[in-house]
Amino acid sequence: MKASSGSITDVPGVRVGHAQRVGRGWLTGTTVVSIPRGAVPGVDVRGGGPGTRETDALDPRNLVDLVHAVCLTGGSAFGLAAADGVMDVLAKRGLGVRVGPGANDVVPVVPAAVIFDLGRGGDFDKRPDAGFGRRALIAARPSPPARGAVGAGTGAVAGGLQGGVGTASARLTFGESDTIVVGALAVVNASGAVLDPRTGLPWEADGFGLRRPSTAERASLREVANFPEPLNTTIGVIATSARLTKAEVSKLASVGHDGIARAVRPSHSLFDGDTVFALATCDQVIDAGIPTAAGREGWPTERGVRYRGPDSRSSRLNRILDAAARCFAAACTDAIVSASAIGDRPAFRDVCPSAFRKP
């Protein structure tokens, strides 16, 4: 499974849009992951300083079973206002929790999470508002999104380097069933290291075709890493075409944090707001063709119990979870290698150009 290519929009029905402002005191933006047909949601918040909205609604014990967009944005807690613009557009489209008989009698539930980018190359009071969320949602397309210092990653810094937005996807096939797609989008704004100091490469560099930077470049990286930002966050979204329950989607969000831990070291600190959302479009079942337990010696034989062997529903779900962690780690790496410097922090490709040279 190659998770270092592709994008979250490889999952059918998923769209991504960016909005950002750069210059004249601005260095921030918003990214929206849109699912017009709706998706079963989940979330896991692990950072010690999160800025979030509507996460309680995604608890499996609570009412909301579909969302139509997730908002990722700069601006710290102020930036949560971007979700208001997403709500406005969804309401006009009649997408949300239906509360009345009219076509637009809906209350859109828009989960959101923020990164801290205040005053980072821009003015402290220049932060996303409802207009950013509105523009990002309207701009959402099913084609692969722009990567690097765009959208919510515009003002991102990661381990002293320019941070940004990255994405990746993977495909899984179970027996003769349709291929299940798993994708991830990450906004990397981490206080932890995103590069291995021994090699000068991202921790999760497999599949990116990078070469080991020169000795001089690695020395320059060490100097950059001496100036980490204390207030940072990695946030993002995992999506899959699999038909999952809300509890299973919540588990999908949880394992996304394994991807952060692989790509950012350390992660989930007291100063991070690490948050991962998950979405299941439910287009494809994952348990087709699995034999029942009846007649198998040593296995449960109650009617309706599934065979709990190497090709059980549980084992297939576990493969999806593994793919989610791999995709999120790859998306974090993609953000770093795709970024070009637009603020006062250098990008990885600026400090280590030899890493991108062809053999």
So what's the pLDDT on residue 159? 87
**d(C-alpha 24, C-alpha 3), whole Å:** 38
Domain spans in the chain, listed from the N-terminal domain onward:
8-346
Pull the structure tokens for residue 118. Answer: 């205040």
Residue that wins the pLDDT comparison between 175 and 153: 153
Q: Is the pLDDT of residue 352 over 90?
A: yes
299-334 per-position pLDDT tens digit: 454 444 555 566 778 888 999 999 999 999 999 999
Domain 8-346 has CATH 3.90.1150.10: no
**d(C-alpha 184, C-alpha 182), whole Å:** 7
- Identify residue 331 by its one-letter amino acid code: A
CA 330 to chain centre: 10
Q: Is the pLDDT of residue 286 over 60?
A: yes
Residue 223's pLDDT band, with cuts at 50, 70 and 90, is confident
**d(C-alpha 193, C-alpha 263), whole Å:** 8
So what's the pLDDT on residue 328? 97
